Amino acid sequence: MSETFWQIQSRHGKRVGVFNVPLTYPAQPIHGFMVTGMLTPVLGPEMTYPESLHRELTGGEKEYVLDVSWGYYQGQLGALLDALLGMIRARTKALEYLLEQFSLDALIAVFTATDRLQHVFWRWMDSAHLAYEPQEAQKWAGPIAQVFAALDDAIGTITEYVGPDAVTFVVSDHGFQRCEKQLSLDDWLAQNGLLTLDRRRQRLIHNLKKAYRTFGAPLIRKMGPRRIGNMSGRFRSLSNASTIDWRRTKAYCSWDTQQGVSINLKGREPWGTVEPGAEYESLRSNIAEGLLSLRDPSSGELVLNRVLRREDYYSGLFLELAPDLLVTPNKGYAVAPRGVRMFEPTGWYSGEHSMQGIFIASGQHLRSRNHHVVGLRLIDIAPTVLYTMGLPVPADMDGRVLTELFEPAIVAQNTPHYEAPSGSVSDGREAACDYSNDEAKQITDRLRGLGYL
């Protein structure tokens, strides 16, 4: 695997803190500290580096919060807001402690509460939402603002620690938009004769998932790892893929979130039905054209904003793992397996990710506060962070240095410089994390609570 940018910083002798970044479990040795984030299975020693930090963050009365599974709070909106506030405050307290213990050159800290909040409360934050109700919006305006204020306080804690001269980036990995109806790509593929499903089995699985999500959050936390988690561990029937009749299928959704379509390709899939080459390309083009022209029958609106071939968006050694087509919905629509019919209302799930996020930069040598930069991408952040610290950028790193953020005179004196590709690159199998059965069940339960399953 290639090095992360905090590993590159460590290799160059920089002291770095990595706090709550998703998919970092188990914690890896770096020159500084690491506390893993989303999809950490349990509060155990492997969630921190050094391992001793685990006891310091979770021992005694301390209660570090890994995440809030918002999907289990349906009908308990006040409790959800309390849980989100508690998570922000617990993380801020833990971060304060870490900043006091470690002298750092760089810090990356992730907060996720606003994502969980907007999935549920968007209907009362956006007056254009079909389910917007002025009285409910007024009722929840104050509590919603408290969550954002708590996050502002957390950012204030960080900026106070690093001081006014440090360069600070505030970045979201996505934005948000309203969603009122959900599109089942499986249903669309089935209607067009490309996917054959066992409908009775599909309906049973949908009802099981729906029942699972409607349990109260305290009960899920108490029972899930032992009972319900065991059920999902024993029966792969909870996966959408288990409902497919592969020998009569040409295309299917390869992700439970239904944001991609894969071709049932001979030589790649175990029961492939589509020949590589001309048949594959023709089918992929026809699916893309059909999806792009799909309209909501009740409004006539186009449902999808883009349908991309995977090679138009991704590159590299892991390209083959991506779906053959990727889709992004227009405002008002979500592409997710939350129902068995197309254009089913999303219900309390009223906000969905959008492609446009936020980026704020402040600190020494940056251009004036009125300067706006367009065309930024998430992959530009890592090389820009390295440049900001005076470090070389690996020649094979995705993205570019955002030199337009800085004063022209500074860039003229400090042009970006590059080094040979760093770290070893493999197919990822050597670096894969082997979860125990209990850890895998915990992660499955957490993904379900976050709406991914």
Whether residue 185 sits in one domain with residue 325: yes
Query: For position 238, what pLDDT does the model report?
Result: 41
Residue 99 within any structural domain of the chain: yes
Whether residue 334 sits in one domain with residue 320: yes
The answer to whether 8 and 19 have CB atoms below 8 angstroms apart is no
Mean pLDDT score, 186-215: 74
Whether residue 138 sits in one domain with residue 121: yes
Distance, in Å, from the CA atom of 312 to the CA atom of 329, rounded to the nearest integer, reads: 17
Domain count, the chain: 2
Q: What secondary structure, in 3-state letters, does the chain show?
A: CCCCHHHHHHHCCCCEEEEEECCCCCCCCCCEEEEECCCCCCCCHHHEECCHHHHHHHCCCCCCCCCCCHHHCCCCHHHHHHHHHHHHHHHHHHHHHHHHHCCCCEEEECCCHHHHHHHHHHHHCCCCCCCCCHHHHHHHHHHHHHHHHHHHHHHHHHHHHHCCCCCEEEECCCEEEEEEEEECHHHHHHHCCCCCECHHHHHHHHHHHHHHHCCCHHHHHHHCCCCHHHHHHHCHHHCHHHHECHHHCCEEECCCCCCEEEECEECCECCCCECCCHHHHHHHHHHHHHHHCCECCCCCCECEEEEEEHHHHCCCCCHHHCCCEEEEECCEEEECCCCCCCCEECCCCCEEEECCCCEEEECCCECCCCCCCCCCCHHHHHHHHHHHCCCCEECCCCCCCCHHHECHHHHHHCCCCEECCCCCCCCCCCCCCCCCHHHHHHHHHHHHHCCCC
Whether residue 147 sits in one domain with residue 69: yes
Question: Domain boundary at 352, 380, 397, which?
Answer: 352
> Does the pLDDT value for residue 377 go beyond 90?
yes
- The DSSP bridge partners found for residue 334 are 182
Q: pLDDT category, 428, cuts 50, 70, 90?
A: very low
- The DSSP bridge partners found for residue 168 are 362
Query: For position 59, what pLDDT does the model report?
Result: 75
Which residue did the predictor score with more confidence, 130 or 41? 130
> Does the pLDDT value for residue 402 go beyond 90?
yes
Q: Any idea what the Cα angle at residue 201 is, between residues 198 and 204, rounded to 5°? A: 150
Whether residue 300 sits in one domain with residue 401: no
Query: For position 65, what pLDDT does the model report?
Result: 87
Whether residue 100 sits in one domain with residue 189: no
Question: Among the ranges 72-81, 175-184, 275-284, which has the highest mean pLDDT value?
Answer: 275-284
Q: pLDDT category, 94, cuts 50, 70, 90?
A: very high
Query: For position 42, what pLDDT does the model report?
Result: 78
Query: For position 198, what pLDDT does the model report?
Result: 73
Mean pLDDT score, 159-166: 88
Query: Residue 187 is part of which domain span?
Result: 179-197+244-352
User: Quick one: tokens of 376?
Assistant: 């930024």
Question: Domain boundary at 352, 370, 393, which?
Answer: 352
Residue 451 within any structural domain of the chain: no
The answer to whether 366 and 384 have CB atoms below 8 angstroms apart is no
Mean pLDDT score, 345-364: 90
The tens digit of pLDDT for each residue in 109-128 reads 999 999 999 999 999 999 99
Residue 223 within any structural domain of the chain: no
Q: pLDDT category, 39, cuts 50, 70, 90?
A: confident
* Omega before 337 within 30 of 0, i.e. cis: no
Whether residue 405 sits in one domain with residue 325: no
Residue 226 within any structural domain of the chain: no
Average pLDDT, the chain: 85
Residue 44 within any structural domain of the chain: yes
- Whether the predicted model's global pTM rises above the 0.85 cut: no
Whether residue 70 sits in one domain with residue 165: yes
Residue 291 within any structural domain of the chain: yes
**CATH number where 304 lies:** 3.30.1360
Distance, in Å, from the CA atom of 184 to the CA atom of 336, rounded to the nearest integer, reads: 6
Question: Domain boundary at 307, 336, 352, which?
Answer: 352
Query: For position 240, what pLDDT does the model report?
Result: 52
Which residue did the predictor score with more confidence, 100 or 242? 100
Whether residue 24 sits in one domain with residue 153: yes
Residue 258 within any structural domain of the chain: yes
> Does the pLDDT value for residue 163 go beyond 50?
yes
**Distance from the Cα of residue 162 to its chain's centroid:** 27
Which residue did the predictor score with more confidence, 343 or 149? 149
Question: Among the ranges 52-66, 293-307, 366-380, 426-440, which has the highest mean pLDDT value?
Answer: 293-307
Whether residue 337 sits in one domain with residue 359: no
Which residue did the predictor score with more confidence, 407 or 316? 407
Query: For position 206, what pLDDT does the model report?
Result: 63
Distance, in Å, from the CA atom of 384 to the CA atom of 376, rounded to the nearest integer, reads: 11
User: Quick one: tokens of 56?
Assistant: 């310091």
Residue 440 within any structural domain of the chain: no
Instruction: Give the whole-number percent of the chain exceeding pLDDT 90.
Output: 60
Q: pLDDT category, 212, cuts 50, 70, 90?
A: low
Mean pLDDT score, 163-183: 92
Whether residue 276 sits in one domain with residue 307: yes
Whether residue 154 sits in one domain with residue 134: yes
Q: pLDDT category, 78, cuts 50, 70, 90?
A: very high
Which residue's structure tokens are 């349906």? Answer: 74
Distance, in Å, from the CA atom of 429 to the CA atom of 168, rounded to the nearest integer, reads: 35
